[in-house]
Structure 1
Amino acid sequence: MTTAVQSFGWLISEFARTTDGVTDAVAVSSDGLLMAASDSLGRDRADHLAAVVSGITSLAQNAATTHGFHGMKLVMIEMLGGFLMVGRIRDGSCLGVLAAEGCDVGLVGYEMAVLADRAGELLTRS
C-alpha cells in the first residue's frame, strides 16, 4: 500500500469521525473501485457503498453532459433517516458520505468540498 493511499484512508476516517452528523464515508476511483473507507465500515459494506456511489456518479455525470451542464459537482439524496451525498474529486474519483437525519447538510457539504480538495492534491501528487 502506497503512502498516498494510506494517507487517503486516514483522511476519510478522520473526516467521518470528526464531521458532525457523518456516519460513514468512502472514496471511489473513476472506474468504480473502492479506494478508501472510514474505519466504521466493514469491507463488504464499504464495497457496496462504493458501487452505489459509482452508479450515482455515472447517472449524474451523464445527466449533466446530456443537458448541457459541465459535469457533476454534488448529489444529495434524502432518505428516511439520513442522507447520501456524493461529490467529485478533481482526479475523477468521488467521495460518498452517509449522514444522519437532522445533520447540517450545508456543513457536511462544505467539509466534503474541503476533503475533496485535500484528496485531489494528495492523489495528483502520487
Structure 2
Amino acid sequence: DPDAADRVAAACAGLQSLASAVSQEIPTSDGDMKMVLIEMNGGYFYLMAAGPNAYLAVLSDVRCEPGRMGLSMADLVARIGPHLTSPARRNGQTV
C-alpha cells in the first residue's frame, strides 16, 4: 500500500528528527541519533541510523529479542550502510 508506506516514511522522519533533537541536548552525547526502539502491543519498531541521510527501519513481532535485533541491524548497517546513503533533496531535486 503506497499510502501506508508514505505515512510510515513520514513517521520515521519525524522520529529521527525528534531523537536527534533529544540527543543534542544530552551533555554526554555526540549529538547523533543511533537508534530508536518502540515497544508496542504485538511487537517492536526499530529505527537505526545507516549512514548520511539513510536509516534502516524494522518491524518485528513480540517473539523477537530486541537486543539480538539491534545487533543484527548494526551488523547489516556495517555491511551495506554505505550503499544506502541518499543525497539530500530540496523541492524534489538533489542538493
* Partner residue in 2 for 1:112: 73
Q: CA RMSD in A?
A: 1.5
Q: Distance in 1 between matches of 2:74 and 2:5?
A: 21
* Partner residue in 2 for 1:44: 3
Q: Which amino acid aligns with 1:113?
A: A
Q: Distance in 2 between matches of 1:65 and 1:99?
A: 28
Q: Distance in 2 between matches of 1:119 and 1:50?
A: 20
- Within the alignment, does 1:81 sit opposite 2:81 as a pair? no
CA-to-aligned-CA distance 1:73-117 (integer Å, 9 cap, x gap): 111010111111110012231111111012111221112112222
Identity, % of aligned pairs? Answer: 36
Q: Which moved more, 1:101-110 or 1:56-65?
A: 101-110
Q: Distance in 2 between matches of 1:80 and 1:123?
A: 30
Where do residues 1-126 of structure 1 align in structure 2 (5 Å cutoff)?
Answer: 42-68=1-27, 69-70=29-30, 71-123=32-84
* TM-score calculated relative to the size of structure 1: 0.59
Q: Would you say the 8 A contact 1:74–1:86 is kept in 2?
A: yes
Q: Could you list the runs of 5+ residues in structure 2 that have no partner in the other structure?
A: 86-95
* TM-score calculated relative to the size of structure 2: 0.76
Bigger Rg, which one: 2
CA-to-aligned-CA distance 1:36-86 (integer Å, 9 cap, x gap): xxxxxx322221111111111100001001223111111101011111111
Q: Secondary structure at the match of 2:51?
A: coil
Q: Secondary structure at the match of 1:89?
A: strand
Q: Would you say the 8 A contact 1:50–1:96 is kept in 2?
A: no
Q: Could you list the runs of 5+ residues in structure 1 that have no partner in the other structure?
A: 1-41
TM-fit CA distance, 1:119: 2.9
